[in-house]
Amino acid sequence: EWVEFNYFFKSIIGRFEFSKSQEVQFIRLLSSSELFVEIDTDKMTQVLDNIISNALKYSPDGGDIRFGITMSEDFIKVMISDDGMGIPQANVKRIFDRFYRADRARSRAMGGTGLGLAIAREMILAHGGEIWAESEEGKGTTIFFTLPFELQEDGEWG
Ligand code: ATP
Ligand code: MG
């Protein structure tokens, strides 16, 4: 299904902003151009739900969550960044592994299975994109993913 990604992303962000219980501020850094991508919207919703619920789960009160989209010639890059506890450097790559959870005691208290990001990764790869994380302990985490897209050329329909 073809969707305009800013619009699609905004509607998911809005749903989380409306239902969140924490004092966390949402900051949108979306793209001013229209970005049409062909995606499985159910799967992409699941990807974003997983990433955003992690950002909320690991965010302190008073923190910000930033939502960004940038584009290059043939892909869009989406980022979701939080001011949370972060992930130890040695473990950042492993958060996309099945059942991996950074801190057992903390993770048990937080709930969840450790599958969210593994599923997100599978779905992004199936869309032809990539997903990765940057994190600093005590400072926060940013999840990035890319999706290929093609700029509509003038005259294509005529
Ligand atoms: P589930 O998503 O299945 O409910 P989960 O959130 O623990 O469980 P993942 O979403 O796969 O599992 O995340 C794996 C682990 O990566 C988490 O347990 C947590 O330790 C770490 N992690 C993920 N996102 C963040 C984040 N934004 N800040 C800090 N740690 C994170
Ligand atoms: Mg999760």
Ligand 1, atom nearest to 116 Cα: 2
Terminal Cα distance for the chain, rounded: 22
The candidate with the shortest Cα–Cα distance to 10, out of 25, 24, 30, is 30
CB of 89 within 8 A of CB of 35?
A: no
pLDDT in tens, the chain (158 residues): 999 999 999 999 999 999 988 899 999 999 889 999 999 999 999 999 999 999 999 999 999 999 999 998 899 999 999 999 999 999 999 999 987 777 665 666 666 777 899 999 999 999 999 999 999 999 999 999 999 987 655 545 54
Tell me, in angstroms, the distance from the centre of ligand 2 to residue 157's CA. 42
Long-range pairs of 30-34 with CB within 8 A, sequence gap ≥ 24: 30/6, 30/67, 30/68, 30/69, 31/5, 31/6, 31/69, 31/70, 31/71, 31/76, 33/71, 34/4, 34/6
CB distance 116 to ligand 1 below 6 Å? yes
Tell me, in angstroms, the distance from the centre of ligand 2 to residue 34's CA. 29
Phi, psi of 101 (to 5 degrees): -135, 130
The SS3 call for residue 141 is strand
Pocket mutation for ligand 1, best pick of 67, 95, 131, 134 (most atoms within 8 Å of C-beta): 95
pLDDT of residue 158: 44
CB distance 60 to ligand 1 below 6 Å? no
CB distance 59 to ligand 1 below 6 Å? no
Tell me, in angstroms, the distance from the centre of ligand 1 to residue 95's CA. 7
What is the model's pTM? 0.92
